[in-house]
A and B are shown apart, each in its own frame.
Chain A
Amino acid sequence: MKYVDEFRDGRVARDLAKSIAAEVQPERRYHLMEFCGGHTHAISRYGLRDLLPPEIRFIHGPGCPVCVLPIGRIDSAIELARDHGVILCSYGDTLRVPASERLSLLRAKAEGADIRMVYSSADALKIARENPSREVVFFAIGFETTTPPTAVALRQARAEGLKNFSVFANHVLTPSAIQNILESPEVRELGTVPLDGFIGPSHVSTIIGSRPYEFFAEEFQKPVVIAGFEPLDVLQSVLMLVRQLNEGRAEVENQFSRAVTRDGNLKAQAMVAEVFELRERFEWRGLGEVPYSALRIREAFREFDAEVRFDLPYRSVPDHKACECGTILRGLKQPQDCKVFGTVCTPDNPLGSCMVSAEGACAAYYTYGQFKGATVTAEAS
């Protein structure tokens, strides 16, 4: 496949892996957090751990929009579809996230709620145009990458005077989450969670640029490399982080120079700023309430805000007691440390959100890494 295979070339990968192995200092451990679930997925899908020396440890971050969505938000979405009778348009991944009362959007759909999977905010607009007598709500989730399309949909709805369309906005922000992790007691009290550097998501930075990371690279003295999602991108950024750490640097470097600039996409940023403003606080699964970490719809677009239109209250719901999604999302534990991983909680029957999305750390481990666990168990027994 043109423009893709070049970034999945096994020979180049082996050369890169050799360089990494040659440059790691044997007495040192490199704990690198890949913030984004897309990277977690790439690491597992292409078997990158097999290529890297044991000194490199990946810590999986909370950058999976489905995983960080708290139960209360899914409950509200179900409430919209079930109790307010709206057509709820949702991205596919979100459909299977477990909610309260053993429900999920998919189960609510089976019970008769009108929930439809869409591929973009434009699809939701189309459904609203085609069903003028029904209320249509777009369940907007995601990081900075999915926010501009939601902003476009809101602008378009206003321009068209589309009275039956609204947005349930759950857009969250990458830099605030990373800062929250860095400020958490576990990271600050040295040794609990070793965290030496970050692999930053390139698609987020095509929008926000690399500049927003400069503050905490400097403040917390952690190097950041903005990396693409192809396996070679990940390997190259690992090498760049190893070099920074070896040289005692803590800078923001851009591996994904083919699309990321320091300032990002100014037009998209302006559009987002026109439609959205910061929420004072937003609950994240795993991280709890994080100040200024999410967006809400501005006053000027309030008539399209589903939370206002349907007077949706937010109720926080604790996670399942046995579920370790919270600690896994903060990098405190690995999926296999969770008691219910692979037993009660599987991709077919997810208990926690990390098992739902292909980008969740638990799902990636379960789907792509099982045989490794099995080999270990077999040897131990």
Chain B
Amino acid sequence: MSANPKALKRGYIRPLDLKHGTVEMSHGGGGRAMAQLIDELFQPAFENPWLRQSNDQALLTRPEGRIVMATDSHVVSPLFFPGGDIGSLSVHGTINDVATSGAKPLWLSAGFILEEGFPLADLKRIVDSMASAAAKAGVPIVTGDTKVVERGKGDGVFINTTGVGVVPDGIEISGDRARPGDTILVSGYLGDHGVAIMSLRENLSFSTHIVSDSAALHELIAAMVEAAPDIHCLRDPTRGGLAATLNEIARQSGAGMAIREDDIPVREEVDAACELLGLDPLYVANEGKVVAICPSESAETLLAAMRAHPLGADAAIIGQVIEDSHGFVQMETSFGGRRNVDWISGEQLPRIC
């Protein structure tokens, strides 16, 4: 019998190789490897009392008021992009979905689907970025889950996050409350996120200084709701861009929208990239912008409150809600004509000539 005490040390597992290691099927298998991934990677990064309990669920104290809940899955490619990564994006996206009800976001959950062979170093980078985004936003990740799929059956990492928040009394914000005469505002430059992502896509690389606008909007929204508690609608124009958001609200509210191209904030660089690719900035995704619709008498107050916050410094009034039972969104072009701003169909594909 060997007398080497190390050989007798029970339950010893070599620490995760966060530099060169990769995700293995066993990391989702429910055994020691999974426990190790949680203990050495997720737990220390997300560190909070709920996770420390190491239960399969988070025990939460019921808050006062109406509760909202939102979920969002993130499959962005590439995983890292100028201005963020899939980790920070998954925190911001869900916080924004909760916050656009006027709610204060309280807790997040995180579900990871990892592909076998994915570098642990990249996973750590993503987890750290999530942790830092959550800490900065003051919204803890209180429960989570990890699954691993075989190589070739995922795309590195997919992350689902769910958020819960609470809406203060007296706030009634909903996509069906836009009324003819209301004013439409946006919180800043449109299209930054989509163009930043597209600039990195395979076979489309072009150099640009544009960075994603990915940001948690709950503090900006809290300031907006405080300044103008009668806001009717709030929504973050993510996939499908401003065009999709306005069409959604128009359909829900049974009203039309009339916007002015000249008043819509779009950076020259984004405009130029879209021009080159044959895209329309109105359809390009944003991850740190909010569209607000409010009674016209509150519009100036709301605009001032938005501009007073760093995330709303470039806010602008872009148009009005109008009477139109068809729910069309129309735009006065810079050129002086009028056109429809329809839903996007499929994905925006570049034109060929």
Which residues from chain A sit less than 8 Å from chain B, CB to CB? 1, 4, 8, 10, 13-14, 38, 44-51, 65-66, 91-96, 106, 117-119, 123, 126, 141-143, 145-146, 203, 231, 346-348, 357-359, 366-371, 374, 378
Contact = CB atoms under 8 A, between A and B. Distances in A.
29 contacts: A1-B268, A10-B336, A13-B336, A45-B333, A46-B333, A46-B335, A47-B337, A47-B339, A50-B336, A50-B338, A51-B335, A51-B336, A66-B352, A91-B350, A92-B349, A92-B351, A93-B351, A119-B203, A119-B204, A126-B203, A141-B352, A143-B353, A145-B353, A346-B345, A347-B346, A368-B340, A369-B339, A374-B324, A374-B326
Contacts of A371: 256, 324, 326, 328, 330, 338, 340
A123 B203 contact: yes
Given A1-B271, A4-B275, A371-B326, A47 B338 contact: yes
A146 B351 CA distance: 12
B192 to A, nearest CB: 16
A117 B352 CA distance: 11
B272 interface: yes
Contacts of A95: 349
B337 A119 contact: no
Interface of B is mostly: loop
B265 to A, nearest CB: 14
Interface in B300-353: 324-326, 328, 330, 333-340, 342, 345-346, 349-353
B351 A46 contact: no
Contacts of B333: 45-47
A96 B346 contact: yes
A288 B256 CA distance: 42
A56 to B, nearest CB: 14
Interface of B: 203-204, 256, 268, 271-272, 275, 278, 324-326, 328, 330, 333-340, 342, 345-346, 349-353
B203 A118 contact: yes
Contacts of A203: 353
A92 B350 contact: yes
A374 B326 CA distance: 7
Contact of B340 (A48, A93, A348, A367): A367
Contact of B352 (A49, A142, A366, A368): A142
Contacts, number: 106
A346 B343 CA distance: 11
B350 A119 contact: yes
B337 A48 contact: yes
A188 B149 CA distance: 65
A331 to B, nearest CB: 21
Dominant secondary structure at the A interface: helix
A10 B338 contact: no
Nearest to A48: B337
A270 B7 CA distance: 78
B352 A50 contact: no
A218 to B, nearest CB: 28
Given A1-B275, A346-B345, A44 B339 contact: yes
Given A92-B350, A95-B349, A8 B271 contact: no
Given A119-B203, A348-B346, A146 B275 contact: no
Contact of A38 (B328, B335, B345, B353): B353
Given A13-B336, A368-B342, 15 more contacts: A4-B272, A14-B336, A44-B339, A45-B333, A47-B338, A50-B336, A66-B352, A95-B349, A96-B349, A106-B346, A119-B203, A145-B353, A370-B328, A371-B328, A371-B330
Nearest to B326: A374
B149 to A, nearest CB: 19
B179 to A, nearest CB: 19
Contacts of A367: 340, 342, 345
Contacts of A142: 352-353
B349 A117 contact: yes
A370 B340 contact: yes
B122 to A, nearest CB: 23
Contact of B337 (A46, A66, A146): A46
A51 B337 contact: yes
Given A10-B336, A47-B335, A93-B352, A348 B345 contact: yes
Nearest to B350: A92
A66 B353 CA distance: 11
A278 B346 CA distance: 36
Contacts of A65: 352-353
Nearest to B349: A92
A8 B325 CA distance: 32
Nearest to B353: A145
B206 to A, nearest CB: 10
